[in-house]
C-alpha cells in the first residue's frame, strides 16, 4: 500500500535568498555547532551554526584529498566520532585504483586538522561511511559501490584506522550505511535491496545475515538511516528522468526477519527526486531537487509520518540537508555551484512548520564540485 505522506501547506511565495551578514557577533561559548559539507573535489565547506538563533557564518574550506566520491548529491561521505572529536571522510578513488579514507580533528573553532589518510587495498570508489561507538571501542564502516563490498576499521583517538578482517560482500552498488540493535544495514542502489550484518561487539567484525531485504518498487535506493526501532530508506530518482513522486520506505526492526516493512510503506513525498533526508527524534526533513517542492518537513509518531508538516517552495532547489543533533531545532540545507548556498530554517514544534532565520543564509560557492555528504557537529 502506498501512502500519501504530506500534502499540507505549500509556501506559494518564493522565499528571497540573500547572503547572511558576515559581521554578526560570535556565539557565546557553548553555543557553537558546525556544518560540514563535502564535495566531489575533495573539499569540505565549514560553516558556523549559532545554537542561540540558527544564524550561519562561513568559516572556510578544508581540502582533504584530490577528490571525493563520484556520487552526489548526498551519499553519506562524512561521519563523526564524538568521543574522539574526529571527522571521518570517504575520499572515493578518483575513478581508478584503490580508494582512501581520511580522518581530521574537529577543533573547538570548527576548523579541521588532518590526522591521517588511509589507502584501502582492494577497494574502489569508497563512498558511504558510518562511525559506531560502544564502551569497547570506535569503529568505521565504509561502502564500496565499485566492488560491491563493505569494509570495517578500528578507529583510535589519534585518527589511525586499522582494517578489521576482509571486506564483506554486499548487493550491487552499496552506498548508504547505518546501524541499530547490533546490526549493520547497507542499502544497495542497483539491486534495490538491503544487506544486513551482525556486529561482533568486541571486534566490530561483521557476519552476514543470509539473504537480503528487497526495497520493492525502488529504482535507486541510496540513503539509509536508523532512528529508534525503525530504518528509513530514500529512493533517489535523477531529476531529469523522474516521473513519479519520490518515496520513503520504512522498516521496523523486529523478530527473526530483522527488518519488516511497515504496512503503509512506502510513503509518497511532494518532490519527484529525493536524494537526501534527515531524521532527528520525531522530526523528518526531505530534500528534493525541484524548486517548487525542494524542502518538506514531517512529524513522526511511533516512527511513522503523521501527515503534519510543510512543503516549501524556493527560487532554487537544495540538494542535501541535516537536522542539528543537539535539539533538532534547526534544519540546515545546502546546494552546490558557483552560486552555492547554505541556509538554516527553524523547525517548529508539533506541526513541523519551517521558518526563515535572520542571518540564516551564507554563500558556499563550490564551483564544479557536487555535494557528497553533510554533517552538523557539536564539538
> Residue holding cell 584530490?
66
Q: Are 344 and 332 in contact (CB under 8 A)?
A: yes
Q: Is 328 part of any domain? A: no
Which residue segment(s) compose the domain that 65 sits in? 3-12+34-318
Q: Output the domain CATH number for residue 149.
A: 2.130.10.10
Q: What is the DSSP string of 165-233?
A: SSPEE-SSSEEEEEEETTEEEEEETTTTEEEEEEEPTTT--EEEPSS-EE-TT-S-EEEEEEETTEEEE
Give the number of other Cβ atoms within 10 Å of residue 180's Cβ. 17
Q: Is 260 part of any domain? A: yes
Q: Is the pTM of this model over 0.75?
A: yes
Q: Is 22 part of any domain? A: no
Residue 368 burial by Cβ neighbours in a 10 Å radius (0-12, 13-18, 19+): exposed
How many separate domains does the chain show?
A: 1
| Sign, Cα dihedral of 194, 195, 200, 204 | negative
Q: Is 109 part of any domain? A: yes
Q: Is 203 part of any domain? A: yes
Does a cis peptide bond (omega within 30 degrees of 0) precede residue 322? no
Q: Which residues, 6 or more positions from 19, have their beta carbon under 8 angstroms from its beta carbon?
A: 361, 362, 363
Q: Is 99 part of any domain? A: yes
CA distances from 350 to 51, 132, 140, 229 (A): 20, 30, 35, 21
Walk along the chain (379 residues) and give the pLDDT tens digit of each residue: 444 444 333 332 333 333 333 334 444 456 799 999 999 999 999 999 999 999 999 999 999 999 999 999 899 999 999 999 999 999 999 889 999 999 999 999 999 999 999 999 999 999 999 999 999 999 999 999 999 999 999 999 999 999 999 999 999 999 999 999 999 999 999 999 999 999 999 999 999 999 999 999 998 999 999 999 999 999 987 666 666 789 999 999 988 889 999 999 999 999 999 989 999 989 999 999 999 999 999 999 999 999 999 999 999 999 999 999 999 999 999 999 999 999 999 998 788 999 999 999 999 999 999 999 999 999 8
Q: Are 122 and 100 in contact (CB under 8 A)?
A: no
Closest CA to 226 of 170, 181, 287, 288: 181
CA 243 to chain centre: 24
Query: pLDDT tens for residues 96-130?
Result: 999 999 999 999 999 999 999 999 999 999 999 99
Closest CA to 165 of 135, 192, 211, 197: 197
| CA 128-171-93 angle, 5° bins | 40
Q: Is 46 part of any domain? A: yes
Task: Please tell me the total number of residues recorded for the chain in this structure.
Answer: 379
Q: Is 286 part of any domain? A: yes
Amino acid at each position: 500500500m502506498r501512502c500519501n505522506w504530506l500534502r499540507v501547506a505549500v509556501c506559494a511565495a518564493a522565499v528571497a535568498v540573500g547572503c547572511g551578514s558576515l559581521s554578526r557577533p560570535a556565539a557565546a561559548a557553548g553555543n557553537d555547532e558546525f556544518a560540514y559539507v563535502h564535495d566531489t573535489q575533495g573539499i569540505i565547506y565549514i560553516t558556523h551554526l549559532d545554537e542561540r538563533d540558527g544564524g550561519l557564518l562561513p568559516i572556510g574550506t578544508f581540502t582533504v584529498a584530490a577528490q571525493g566520491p563520484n556520487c552526489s548529491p548526498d551519499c553519506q561521505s562524512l561521519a563523526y566520532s564524538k568521543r574522539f572529536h574526529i571527522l571521518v571522510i570517504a575520499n572515493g578513488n578518483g575513478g581508478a585504483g584503490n580508494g582512501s579514507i581520511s580522518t581530521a580533528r574537529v577543533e573547538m573553532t570548527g576548523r579541521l586538522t588532518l590526522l591521517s589518510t588511509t589507502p584501502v587495498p582492494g577497494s574502489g570508489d569508497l563512498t558511504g561511511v558510518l562511525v559506531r561507538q560502544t564502551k569497547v571501542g570506535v569503529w568505521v564502516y565504509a561502502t564500496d559501490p565499485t566492488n560491491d563490498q563493505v569494509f570495517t576499521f578500528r578507529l583510535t583517538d589519534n585518527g589511525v584506522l586499522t582494517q578489521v578482517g576482509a571486506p564483506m560482500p554486499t548487493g550491487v552498488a552499496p552506498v548508504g550505511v547505518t546501524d541499530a540493535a547490533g546490526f549493520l544495514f547497507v542499502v544497495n542502489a542497483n539491486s534495490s535491496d538491503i544487506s544486513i550484518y551482525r556486529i561482533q561487539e568486541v571486534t566490530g567484525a561483521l557476519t552476514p545475515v543470509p539473504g537480503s531485504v528487497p526495497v520493492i518498487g525502488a529504482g535507486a535506493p541510496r540513503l539509509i538511516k536508523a532512528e529508534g526501532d525503525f530504518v528509513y530508506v530514500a529512493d533517489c530518482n535523477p531529476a531529469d528522468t523522474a516521473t513519479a513522486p519520490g518515496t520513503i520506505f520504512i522498516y521496523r526492526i523486529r523478530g527473526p526477519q530483522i527488518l519488516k516493512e511497515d504496512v503503509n510503506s512506502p510513503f509518497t513525498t511532494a518532490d519527484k527526486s529525493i536524494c537526501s533526508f534527515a531524521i532527528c527524534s520525531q522530526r523528518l526533513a526531505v530534500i528534493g531537487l525541484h524548486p517548487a517542492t525542494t524542502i518538506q518537513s514531517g512529524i513522526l509518531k511511533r516512527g511513522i509520518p503523521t501527515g503534519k508538516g510543510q512543503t516549501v517552495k524556493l527560487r532554487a532547489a537544495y540538494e542535501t540537508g541535516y537536522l542539528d543533533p543537539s535539539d533538532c531545532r534547526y534544519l540546515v540545507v545546502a546546494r552546490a555551484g558557483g552560486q552555492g548556498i547554505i541556509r538554516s530554517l527553524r523547525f517548529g514544534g508539533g506541526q513541523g512548520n519551517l521558518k526563515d532565520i535572520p542571518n540564516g543564509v551564507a554563500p558556499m560557492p563550490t564551483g564544479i564540485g557536487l555535494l557528497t555528504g553533510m554533517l552538523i557537529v557539536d564539538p
